[in-house]
Each structure stands twice: as structure tokens, then as C-alpha cells.
């Protein structure tokens, strides 16, 4: 499939499902424990028609929005006053999708903004620990209902060898 990637059937299926969702303007939550290679899975997302925008999950909301626009070569200083303006620009974007790795580190104040972005049809691919889905189900079930949840399991070498022997 791709370089340095163990091409088990589940991951190939997940890659296909993720492409299908982002091309339709829908969002995905990749869930997995430590060692499930979520980041590696995200690095494989290279659709031909869409530009990937990687976002750092540790930023506050105005830095998050400004960093999305900076990835697209906008000159955007991160200021609280410009947050509504930046949100409006991001909601109008096309031909791109947003990737947020370690979504469990997102500031809780970022989620309502991400909901607006998702509702505007800008696909967002989140990856994080199972506690992301738990948090969303408790605090933002409306956001969780907009996400397709795919669960990545760690690849155990012994199981892989016995299956493909």
C-alpha cells in the first residue's frame, strides 16, 4: 500500500473510509490506545485533491485558528480580537482538510469552534485516546454525532506473523 505501513485489512479499510468521508466534507475520529500508530496512520492521509493542514492540539483557540490560516499562507497574527474573523475565513475554506493529532490535549474551549468548522463542511480528522470519545459523549454529543469513529488497535507482531505465515 504505502511505504513503511503494515497493510492489514482493517487499516486499509479505515484509510479508504477516511478518504471517502473527507472527500464528502465529513469528519472522522481515529481512536486508539498508546502504540496503535495513530500518528503514522494520519501521515498516510495524502488525498490528491485536498491539502492537509496539521494543527497542534496544545494551542488556545486564537492560536489554533491563526495556525490553520498560516498553513495556507495567510498572514495571521494570533490575537483574541480576530478570532471571529479567522473562524469565518476557515469556515469558507475548500480544497483542504484539518488534521488534529492528540485530540485529547485540545483545550475544552476549542471544541465549539471546531463544531462550527465541521458544520461548515470543512473536514476535520481527529486522532486521540479513547478518552476523547468519552469526553465528547459527555460534553459535546452533538460533535460526536457528526464524527465517524474508527478504532485502531495496536498491531501485535506475534499475531501478525501467525496470521500471514
pLDDT (tens digit per residue) in 9-49:
888 888 889 999 999 999 999 998 888 888 888 888 888 88
Indicate if the pLDDT at residue 124 is higher than 90.
yes
What number is the average pLDDT over the span 102-114?
92
CA separation for the pair 93, 105 (Å, rounded): 25
Through-space distance between the first and last CA atoms of the chain, rounded to whole angstroms: 19
pTM of the model: 0.85
Please tell me the CATH superfamily of domain 9-163, with its number. P-loop containing nucleotide triphosphate hydrolases (3.40.50.300)
What number is the average pLDDT over the span 127-134?
93
CA separation for the pair 94, 86 (Å, rounded): 15
CA separation for the pair 47, 6 (Å, rounded): 19
**How many C-beta atoms lie closer than 10 Å to residue 5's C-beta?**
15
Considering only residues 44 and 7, tell me which one the structure prediction assigns the higher pLDDT. Answer: 44
Amino acid at each position: 500500500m504505502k511505504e513503511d505501513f503494515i497493510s492489514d485489512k482493517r487499516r486499509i479499510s479505515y484509510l479508504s473510509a477516511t478518504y471517502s468521508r473527507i472527500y464528502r466534507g465529513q469528519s472522522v475520529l481515529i481512536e486508539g490506545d498508546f502504540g496503535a500508530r495513530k500518528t503514522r496512520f494520519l501521515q498516510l492521509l495524502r488525498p490528491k485533491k485536498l491539502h492537509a493542514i496539521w494543527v497542534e492540539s496544545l494551542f488556545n483557540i486564537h492560536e489554533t485558528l491563526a495556525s490553520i490560516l498560516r498553513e495556507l499562507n495567510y498572514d495571521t497574527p494570533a490575537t483574541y480580537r480576530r478570532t471571529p474573523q479567522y473562524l469565518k475565513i476557515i469556515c469558507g475554506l475548500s480544497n483542504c482538510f484539518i488534521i488534529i493529532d492528540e485530540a485529547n490535549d485540545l483545550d475544552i474551549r476549542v471544541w465549539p469552534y471546531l463544531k462550527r468548522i465541521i458544520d461548515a463542511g470543512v473536514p476535520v480528522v481527529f486522532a486521540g485516546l479513547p478518552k476523547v470519545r468519552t469526553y465528547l459523549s459527555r460534553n459535546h454529543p452533538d460533535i460526536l454525532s457528526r464524527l465517524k469513529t474508527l478504532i485502531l488497535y495496536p498491531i501485535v507482531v506475534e499475531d501478525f506473523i501467525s496470521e500471514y505465515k
